[in-house]
Structure 1
Amino acid sequence: MGSFSIWHWLIVLLIVVMVFGTKKLKNIGSDLGGAVKGFKEGMKDGASDEAQAPAAGQVTNNAAASAANADKTTIDVEAKQKS
């Protein structure tokens, strides 16, 4: 019950090909490859966005100031429980 031999993997591969067919497996492979490629591009875009992060930090500070001004108009109410 240790490790599987090459014959076990060939039998599993044969069963998978018989169940799904080669066309379906080809489509799954190309979809998976496209997803990996998109992920790598997204990681590269994320790295370039981090280089521009200081400019975005200034916008965040302005948004925080706007939120502080909005809090001045907030009414604080205490909820009472029905008995």
Structure 2
Amino acid sequence: MSIWHWAIVAVVALLLFGGRGKLSGLMGDAAKGIKAFKDGLKDEDVKKDEAKPETAKTVTDKDAA
């Protein structure tokens, strides 16, 4: 590869993973959004489990025999 190829690769890497670049900030925000979405799905499952009332099972003489 020529020096120009390496220069282009370096510039792209700097833009993607650079310290205060707009693209790196955007990727961080996207990661936070995905995490919040997954946490929301977990909370929804917990709410469904809490909403199901447990039925009390009564034991009668017929069941005991």
Q: TM-score, normalised by structure 1?
A: 0.39
Higher relative contact order (CA 8 A, sep 6+): 2
Q: TM-score, normalised by structure 2?
A: 0.48
